[in-house]
Amino acid sequence: MKSQEVRKQFLEFFKSKNHSIVASAPMVLKDDPTLMFTNAGMVPFKEYFLGNATPKNSRLTDTQKCLRVSGKHNDLEEVGKDTYHHTMFEMLGNWSFGDYFKEEAIAWAWEFLTEVVKVDKDSIYVSIFEGDESEGLERDQEAYDIWTKHIDESRIINGNKKDNFWEMGAQGPCGPCSEIHVDIRSAEEKAAVDGKSLVNMDHPLVIEIWNLVFMQYNRLANGSLTKLPSQHVDTGMGFERLCMVLQGVQSNYDTDVFTPLMREVETITSSKCGETEETDIAVRVIADHVRAVSFSIADGQLPSNTGAGYVIRRILRRAIRYGFTFLDTKEPFIYKLVSTLVNQMGDAFPELEAQKNLITNVIREEEASFLRTLDKGLILLDNVIANTSGDTVSGDKAFELYDTYGFPIDLTALILSEKNLKLDEAGFEAALKEQKDRSRAATKVETDDWNILQEDSEEEFIGYDTLEASVKITRYRKTESKKDGELYQLVFNLTPFYPEGGGQVGDKGYLETPSGEVVYIIDTKKENNLIIHLAKNLPRSTEGTFKAVVDVKQRSRTAANHTATHLLHQGLRKILGTHVEQKGSMVHSRNLRFDFSHFSKVTSEELKEVEDFVNARIRENLSLEEQRGISYDQAIQEGAIALFGEKYGDAVRTIRFGKSMELCGGTHVKNTGDIWHFKITSEGAVASGIRRIEAITSDAAKDYFTSETEAYNQVKATLKGNQDPVKAITSLLDENAALKKQVEALIKEKAQNLSGDLAKEFEDIDGVDFLAKKVDLDAGAIKDLAFKLGENKDNVFLLFGTEQNGKALLSCYISKELVASKNLNAGTVVRELGKHIQGGGGGQPFFATAGGKNPAGIDAAIVEVKNYLV
């Protein structure tokens, strides 16, 4: 069965059991501080399990793209070495939110596996939770009893808390789970060793394919468990593993999920799997990583040097490195795999198809850049080797290459071993650990437990309609970090504060108690759909009602910028073309930033057109038309623009100004006229194929024009009212350059003349042309003069003294030939004469200077210098 068919069968099966099929959520997360990527099927539904929101249907099914690069069983560095670990994988899931429980979950899982896709019943084992005394938890007898209706008792295994009790995190919903394992070994192997004994033993052919989690408890902050008011089912089946079982192969990489990519890698690199272990690993690594990276870029997460983007960069670089080392690829090639991937998965994930060009370009650019880094690193490593005595390269040096220049440590190790050198690995690890500890210490945040004042299921956001409200604090907690110090996080029953999201900054403002006490809200954020207000301190009493007031000025400026962002988006699509897609935005009160896909520089004419377009919409005084709570499908049908990589709920909000219509949760002006004016302040590239525009509106635009005009007027005034300042300045610059040259020439000439005059003053002492004199020149001129006098002569000894700003300066020049023949040294001369001017100095043997604070001593020095020659 083809993988595409497997996916379809699964979703259709659960649809027939009254589940709604939902699209995969983005792989990259935006409002969860504890997680960067969706690493399990349940992540997009966290808010439902936490009770912060309710799904439209209590039964859902989906295939979720997931990314795992760390964790106890999945280290990035291990992927590719075996046949069943991946960075990116799909998780098929069926979900019950307070609906069906163990009975149906188990029955349907069994039905799907054995009747729909027809997995051999005799290869299946299931496990149930055996109980745990320390937690006071009993064996999951209920699951056991249900399973016995489907499968022989001998195939049911007890599992411990580690394997069979699932928890979302340190706190929150949790419960026992039941795993389904499949043994796909050959008949001989099965006869030799009982499959039951290999379950959960990391055997590559006796594997867990499906985990059914029964959420029935809630883990409290103090570690104790309470029963959940309603019970949920969360299941996750590894899509690639299921394909392996159904396609009768023994490696995920031998399924049609991976084979097209792997064949393409072989073709492009002229390599062949099965020849060496290293080639096999490299091909698997590349096939796996190109998927992870492509899907991330499609979700709007580009490779970068911080945060989630850095994780993506690391994955891609690992693939490049394997190609570089084991497949001998010295040119970008991974980008060529994108079209294979799109052909294969574009149907199930339309975002891939839509973003194909961008993905290809970004990967190619990233490859080229890393190959340059490798080239530089190779040169640096050669230097390190050349400067290493003995046969061991120090860990510090290797770490410097890695940390500062991005040269991979395994490549260093490989090259050293080829040259019969050793690497001090312990030293490297120690340096790495030090760096990690430093980073951790710098970002450590201590979070206390929530203090619940009031149970309140959902916090209502009323900030679209009002900026002031009477609110109650429902819970609060304290956090402490090195950066911000102590902060309090407050949650209200309802709030007018807009939380950071959709590129828009969170609101600021204050809380006021009836007695007049004021607590400032310095920022508002969203965490798992919960709106959190940050304050430096708590009110004296957290009980009672507060007047919550949003900072109007910041909000209205931000709203103007946000609406302008929509108009800019519209203008760019109109003027540059509909290939323009939003790739990120940052809306502050001060300015706005808009990143979008476009493959060449935006010309200044185009920028002006865009600016004019936006300003025309502003002058049209378009009113805000807002729709709340309409369905996603309907919004799209009406022409609203949705963003890739954004997670949308079932009910969405649309914002329309004239012909601009977007799905958006942000705050906007009532009328485009409120923006006053729109002005682009910069345009540039942020990555291959991504441009960034920064712009300002309203007050900021006015201030901008005021100050620019003022500066311009000053320029004009300085130019005495010249009508064409640009021309005037250009000619001034030209003139200035010409004058500089003239002055230079004159100074040379002057030095020439002066040296001519001074040459007449030379005193012949024992065949040496000697001159000691006080002159009125600066240090540079004296140097010039001395070299000029010494030119074409080999017997010159000069000492010049000068007084500059109350300080004394002595300069001594001695022809190189004299230095050698008479064993003289200008450095020694000035150092010794320096005592007369209460200073010191030095230089080279043939030219040296000394400075001091006693100008009166210059004459004495000039007299004494003769002693060096007689």
Which residues make up the interface to RNA (CB under 7 A)? Answer: 305-307, 310, 313-314, 317, 369-370, 373, 376, 400, 402-406, 432, 435-436, 438-440, 442-443, 483, 779, 783-784, 787-788, 791, 809, 827, 839-844, 847-852
- Based on CB atoms, which residue is closest to RNA, 387 or 723? 387
Cβ-based neighbour number of residue 805 at 10 Å: 5
Indicate the residue type of 848.
A
- Based on CB atoms, which residue is closest to RNA, 261 or 772? 772
Distance of alpha carbon 702 from alpha carbon 394, whole angstroms: 59
- Based on CB atoms, which residue is closest to RNA, 19 or 397? 397
Residue 685 Cβ vs RNA, minimum distance, rounded to whole Å: 9
Burial profile 631-654: b = 16 or more Cβ within 10 angstroms, e = fewer? ebeebeeeebbebbbbebeeebbb
Structure tokens at 737: 């350059």
The position carrying tokens 């911080």 is: 306
- Based on CB atoms, which residue is closest to RNA, 632 or 787? 787
Residue 789 Cβ vs RNA, minimum distance, rounded to whole Å: 9
Residue 442 Cβ vs RNA, minimum distance, rounded to whole Å: 3
- Based on CB atoms, which residue is closest to RNA, 379 or 717? 379
- Sort 227 into a burial class: Cβ within 10 Å, 0-12 / 13-18 / 19+: exposed
Handedness of CA 718, 723, 726, 729 (dihedral sign): negative
- Based on CB atoms, which residue is closest to RNA, 442 or 743? 442
Distance of alpha carbon 530 from alpha carbon 640, whole angstroms: 26
Distance of alpha carbon 317 from alpha carbon 315, whole angstroms: 5
Residue 710 Cβ vs RNA, minimum distance, rounded to whole Å: 22
- Based on CB atoms, which residue is closest to RNA, 445 or 518? 445
The position carrying tokens 């194909």 is: 356
Residue 440 Cβ vs RNA, minimum distance, rounded to whole Å: 5
- Based on CB atoms, which residue is closest to RNA, 560 or 814? 814
Residue 737 Cβ vs RNA, minimum distance, rounded to whole Å: 8
- Based on CB atoms, which residue is closest to RNA, 300 or 851? 851
Indicate the residue type of 636.
I
Number of continuous H segments (helices) and E segments (strands) in the chain: 25, 34
Strand-pair partners of 523? 534
Collapsing DSSP to helix, strand or coil, 521 comes out as strand
**Contact present, 816 and 834 (Cβ < 8 Å):** no
Residue 404 Cβ vs RNA, minimum distance, rounded to whole Å: 4
Nearest to 68 by CA among 282, 341, 243, 289: 289
Residue 441 Cβ vs RNA, minimum distance, rounded to whole Å: 8
- Sort 216 into a burial class: Cβ within 10 Å, 0-12 / 13-18 / 19+: buried
Which helix (DSSP H) or strand (DSSP E) does residue 52 occupy? none
Residue 169 Cβ vs RNA, minimum distance, rounded to whole Å: 16
CA dihedral angle for residue 288, residue 291, residue 293, residue 299, rounded to 10 degrees: -150
- Based on CB atoms, which residue is closest to RNA, 80 or 309? 309
- Based on CB atoms, which residue is closest to RNA, 153 or 791? 791
- Based on CB atoms, which residue is closest to RNA, 381 or 575? 381
Which helix (DSSP H) or strand (DSSP E) does residue 133 occupy? none
Residue 187 Cβ vs RNA, minimum distance, rounded to whole Å: 45
Indicate the residue type of 762.
F
- Based on CB atoms, which residue is closest to RNA, 117 or 371? 371
Distance of alpha carbon 282 from alpha carbon 412, whole angstroms: 18
Handedness of CA 356, 357, 358, 360 (dihedral sign): positive
Handedness of CA 259, 265, 266, 271 (dihedral sign): negative
- Based on CB atoms, which residue is closest to RNA, 370 or 797? 370
Cβ-based neighbour number of residue 450 at 10 Å: 14
- Based on CB atoms, which residue is closest to RNA, 199 or 297? 297
Residue 841 Cβ vs RNA, minimum distance, rounded to whole Å: 3
Residues 6+ apart with CB under 8 A from 194: none
**Contact present, 7 and 348 (Cβ < 8 Å):** yes
Nearest to 756 by CA among 780, 784, 785, 778: 785
* C-alpha neighbours within 13 Å on the C-beta side of residue 6: 26
Distance of alpha carbon 325 from alpha carbon 540, whole angstroms: 64
Which helix (DSSP H) or strand (DSSP E) does residue 741 occupy? helix 725-759
- Based on CB atoms, which residue is closest to RNA, 52 or 388? 388
Residue 488 Cβ vs RNA, minimum distance, rounded to whole Å: 20
- Based on CB atoms, which residue is closest to RNA, 310 or 520? 310
Distance of alpha carbon 567 from alpha carbon 676, whole angstroms: 13
Residue 796 Cβ vs RNA, minimum distance, rounded to whole Å: 12
Residue 466 Cβ vs RNA, minimum distance, rounded to whole Å: 31
- Based on CB atoms, which residue is closest to RNA, 70 or 392? 70
Residue 497 Cβ vs RNA, minimum distance, rounded to whole Å: 22
What is each CA distance from 215 to 136, 157, 172, 174, 177, in whole angstroms? 16, 20, 10, 5, 8
Strand-pair partners of 808? 803, 852
Residues 6+ apart with CB under 8 A from 454: 472, 473, 474, 475, 493
Strand-pair partners of 799? 772, 812
Structure tokens at 754: 């002066």
Q: Given its phi and psi angles, is residue 577 left (phi above 0), alpha (psi -120 to 50 degrees) or beta?
A: left
Residue 778 Cβ vs RNA, minimum distance, rounded to whole Å: 11
The phi, psi pair for 229, rounded to 5°, reads -65, -35
Indicate the residue type of 5.
E
